[in-house]
Amino acid sequence: MSLDLARQLAALDATGQAELLRSGEISAEEAVDAAVAACEALNPELNAVIHPAYDEARDAASRRSGPLAGVPMLTKDLICREAGRPFHEGNRFLKELGHVSDWDQVLAERFRAVGMVSIGRSNTPEFGMRPVCEPEAYGPTHNPWDIGRSTGGSSGGSAAAVAAGIVAVAHANDVGGSIRNPAANCGLVGLKPSRGRSDMSPDFGDLNGGLAEELVVTRSVRDTALLLRELCRPAPGQWQGQWPLADPVDAAAAADPGRLRVGWITAHPSVEVDRRIVDVVADVTRLLDGLGHDVSDDAPAPLSEDITAFALPHYAAGFAWIVDQHWPRLLGQPIPDDGIEAGTAMLCAIGRGITAPQLLEARELAQAWTRRLSQWWLDHDVLVTPTLPMVAPELGTRDPVDDAEFLAFLAAFNVSGHPAMSLPLGSVDGVPVGVQLVAAHGREDLLVALGAQLEQARPWSGQRPAVHVENA
């Protein structure tokens, strides 16, 4: 019975599941049992969920209230800690310690306030540093579209579970594309909000110099918009300012975006883009033209510049701080040299060599570049790019030294703070391909409105991967 219900729920997004729950046709406990049944059936093949919390979820289900009351979800095992649950961030040393969080991140509290029920924690690469989800501590997560391929990272476990129909929504975060990358590889919607939208307290305020944002991966634009409204609220004492957000931003999912000025780009100065990816983006630009938008092959000139000189110091110093300062302070002991993976050690070594004046110089250069980049949106509304320059790679084939290739069209907007959303608008050899939409600071409403229009014009909700609860 639970698997039958899981198949029924997998045909719905979170908003649809919430409507079914409010009607009384099913109970919250039944919804959780269905998600648990789906996870037990599929997770052995996917390795998406590493810390099940089934009994806790069943106990909590009937006590939830809010717009998504009783809807099952997953929490990524990175940043969003939950009191009483394992918290290892993909690290073997923390796993061997059996570390359990003593407190909640504010975001965990907000997920509960919106009514969602976390059935467990999802897999992630070590400290979220890699764009593939293959931690030594827990092993790789498999892409449900092709289990020999990567889900992308770092929100790989979350993306695999949503794509496979285990849950409709899963927590994700993005410091260099970690929402958009796995969304693209797994056929999902993934929005990185504007800088400053996310409350990462009490642990963090300005994580990695403001590069990181949190939200979700979903199967629909309206779910993403609803959770943007509910989760991304200003916090007292927040270090970063916030651009005004349309109120309510989720209303944009039902609004006509009007005639938008759309530019697009498929080339990048540091990586060769797969021709098949270029073709997908070109197809989407033709679709946008057919929908009545003013489309041109115009893009911000600063995107043709190599930003490594000021982006790398932010990433490397930030991750060195995580390993050398943040976790040792929480644990009361250092993480030993052999307690981290080789790729992590490589990036941390770079970070330790960056002086404070060099980091401040990188910050100034990044801000100056962002000011120049932002001028483009004074005369345009939305930029279209590939989400990734390549199709989801085979598991175990990527070396950490080549990880920057994944970030080509992603990290720039972590540095600049612009909102960016990946939509599943194409495929290559049966594997999803994402197309990225980027708007001016604070204009998530434009991304939602245009994303919903594209979703209606080219629906993706009926597409199913090989590993899916409907086949269980």
List residues bridging with 191 in a β-sheet: 421
365, exposed or middle or buried, with CB in 10 Å at 0-12, 13-18, 19+?
middle
Q: How far apart are CA 228 and CA 468, in angstroms?
A: 27
392 in Cβ contact with 143 (< 8 Å): yes
176 in Cβ contact with 315 (< 8 Å): yes
User: E-assigned strands of 167-306?
Assistant: 169-174, 189-192, 213-218, 261-264, 294-296
Q: Residue 411: enclosing H or E segment and its boundaries? A: helix 411-416
Give the closest residue to 203 by CA, choosing from 75, 79, 333, 328: 79
Q: What is the DSSP letter of 276?
A: H
Q: How far apart are CA 461 and CA 472, in angstroms?
A: 19
Please give the positions annotated as active site.
76, 154, 178
- Which letter, b or e, does each residue of 99-109 get, where b requires 16 or more Cβ atoms within 10 Å of its Cβ? bebeebbbbbe
Give the closest residue to 5 by CA, choosing from 29, 28, 24, 30: 30
440 in Cβ contact with 374 (< 8 Å): yes
Q: What is the 3-state secondary structure (H, E, C) of 318-381?
A: HHHHHHHHHHHHHHCCCCCHHHCCHHHHHHHHHHHCCCHHHHHHHHHHHHHHHHHHHHHHHCCC
| Rounded to 5°, angle at Cα 443 from 437 and 447 | 35
Q: What is the 3-state secondary structure (H, E, C) of 22-60?
A: HHCCCCHHHHHHHHHHHHHHHHHHHCCEEEECHHHHHHH
Q: What is the DSSP letter of 313?
A: H
* Those residues with Cβ within 8 angstroms of residue 296's Cβ, 6 or more apart along the chain or in another chain: 262, 263, 264
Q: How far apart are CA 292 and CA 312, in angstroms?
A: 40
Task: Name the pairing type of β-strands 146-150 and 142-143.
Answer: antiparallel
Token couple for 25:
């046709």
